[in-house]
Amino acid sequence: MKQFLIFVKKEWLHIWRDRRTLFILIWMPIVQIILYGFALTNEVKNSNIAIFDQSRDEATLQISDEIAASHYFNLVKNVYSYKDIGATFRKGKIRMAIVFPKNFRYDLLHSNRAQIQLIADASDPNTANTLTNYASSIINDYQQAVNQNADLPYTINTQVRMLYNPELKGAYGFVPGVMALVLMLVCTMMTSIAIVKEKEMGTMEVILVSPLKPFRIIIAKAVPYLFVSLLNIVSILLLSVYVLGVPIVGSIWLLMAESTLFTLTSLSLGILISNSAQTQQTAMFISMMSLFLPTLLFSGFLFPIENMPWPLQVISNVVPSKWYYIIVKNIMIKGLGFESVWQETTILVGMTAALLGMSIYKFKIRLA
């Protein structure tokens, strides 16, 4: 035990005395959360639109006003011909155009039928879809307001209720994903250099010629980094709540515990990388490059895993961040309890044990 503690102390001193690295370790997650939190989003906000209003009556003006007032749209231009619409699209100034035909209000009141044309830039199909949906729903609202006075039979109203995220905020889906990504990258990178550093500095030679057991060395190396990671988890959660505006609906302690577990998984992965790498640079490279893409692709927060071909779905199962993402979503956003995440938790525990076991098994008790 004493052996173990002095090793932990030694590791801690390495981290503590290397202030520059410590600074990076603490600030990197914060910067990443802010960057990814705001940049990695598919939310549609302030999209530029143009309106071609050929009737300019009370109804079209009211609809135009409502559309322009919503935070989804930003009216940049009133155009006066179809030709003009095409030109504005080609310049890339707008993503959608709204066309009101002549005699809009007249048609609406007298024949109960009026048409509005929505023209969207579908080079980005998702955004185009979202934009037309938003616009349609604003128009629908208007229609309902008008209909209140008239009595029109057989109207079916769809009431949509957005569960867990009523405002359809992008951050709700992204914060858990970004948490998984950042924790994975930072924790793995931290420990990935821990063992290979001793190899490079030559200190491994003296450590090996001592009664220290490999598992003690490995666990002792992970412990100080676990504390740094806990600090990171707290800062990430604070940022999520106060900067990105995502509340923690479920138990914060359960979330902390699950995050700690995921951190342990990442640290173990880092140690395994460190064990096999020959230089610190290789270790960093492996942990940065080989983890970033899989985490991004297979966590499920950018691309739904259900839509992937089955070989990729199988691969996604070995990516720890996928399970953590599900856990965080369930606890943080949906407010569910442990009974909803015990399977994912078990998988993470199993992965951690396997990674640690592999590290200890693969730990070279000799130099070559």
Partner 1 sequence: MQPVVVEHIVQNYRTKKTVVAALKDVSFTVNRGEIFGIIGPDGAGKTSLFRILTTLLLAESGTATVDGFDVVKDYEQIRNRIGYMPGRFSLYQDLSVQENLEFFATIFNTTIEKNYDLIKEIYQQIEPFKDRKAGALSGGMKQKLALCCALIHKPSVLFLDEPTTGVDAVSRKEFWEMLHRLKLQDITILVSTAYMDEASLCDRVALIQKGQILSIDTPKGIISRFKKPLWAIRANEMFKLMNAIKEDPSVESCYPFGQYHHVVFKTEKDSKEKLENIGKDGRYTDVEIKPIEPNIEDCFMELMTN
Q: Which one among 115, 126, 147, 203 touches partner 1, defined by CB under 8 A? A: 203
Q: Is 71 in the site for partner 1 (CB under 8 A)?
A: no
In angstroms, what is the minimal distance from the CB of 205 to partner 1? 5
At which residue do the structure tokens 């109960």 appear?
Answer: 112
Tokens standing for residue 186: 């930072």
- Contact with partner 1 (CB under 8 A): which of 210, 253, 293, 309? 210
CA distance 368 to 359: 17
Using CB under 8 A, which of the segments 3-11, 177-185, 235-243, 319-327 binds partner 1? 3-11
Contacts 24+ apart (CB under 8 A), 240-248: 240/33, 240/37, 240/171, 240/175, 240/179, 240/332, 243/33, 243/34, 243/37, 244/33, 244/37, 244/38, 244/171, 244/175, 245/169, 245/171, 246/169, 246/171, 246/172, 246/175, 246/332, 246/333, 248/331, 248/332
Based on the shown chain and the rule CB under 8 A, indicate whether residue 368 belongs to the binding site for partner 1.
Answer: yes
Distance (Å, whole) CA 104 – CA 115: 7
Note whether 14 binds partner 1 by CB under 8 A: yes
* H helix or E strand, kind and range, residue 49: strand 47-53
Name the nearest CA neighbour of 263 among 313, 292, 290, 224: 224
Q: Which helix (H) or strand (E) holds 289?
A: helix 280-298
**Number of amino acids touching partner 1 (CB under 8 A):** 24
**119 phi and psi, to 5 degrees?**
-115, 120
- Residue 203 CB, nearest approach to partner 1 (Å): 5
Part of the chain binding partner 1 (CB under 8 A), chosen from 4-12, 137-145, 239-247, 271-279: 4-12
**52, exposed or middle or buried, with CB in 10 Å at 0-12, 13-18, 19+?**
buried
Give 6 or 318: the residue with its C-beta nearer to partner 1.
6
Q: Positive or negative, the Cα torsion across 13, 18, 22, 25?
A: negative
Least Cβ distance, residue 9 to partner 1 (angstroms) = 8
156, 160, 206, 289: which one binds partner 1 (CB under 8 A): 206
Q: Is 17 in the site for partner 1 (CB under 8 A)?
A: yes
Piece of 76-84, 92-100, 205-213, 291-299 that binds partner 1 (CB under 8 A): 205-213
Residue from 166, 211, 304, 309 binding partner 1 (CB under 8 A): 211
What is the DSSP code (8-state) at residue 339?
G
Q: How far is the CB of 224 from partner 1 (least distance, A)?
A: 14
152, 156, 160, 365: which one contacts partner 1 (CB under 8 A)? 365
Binding flag, residue 24, partner 1 (CB under 8 A): no
225: contact with partner 1 by CB under 8 A: no
The verdict on 366 binding partner 1 (CB under 8 A) reads yes
Check: CB of residue 362 under 8 Å from CB of residue 274: no
DSSP reduced 3-state for 48: strand
Only one of the segments 53-61, 69-77, 330-338, 359-367 lies at the binding site for partner 1 (rule: CB under 8 A); that segment is: 359-367
Query: How many Cβ atoms sit within 10 Å of the Cβ of residue 68?
Result: 13
Closest contact distance (angstroms) between CB of 208 and partner 1 is: 6
Q: Does 42 bind partner 1 (CB under 8 A)?
A: no
Scanning 6-14, 37-45, 128-136, 293-301 for contacts with partner 1 by CB under 8 A, the matching segment is: 6-14
Q: Which is nearer to partner 1, 75 or 204 (CB)?
A: 204
Q: Which residues bind partner 1 (CB under 8 A)?
A: 2-3, 6-7, 10, 13-14, 17-18, 201-203, 205-212, 365-368
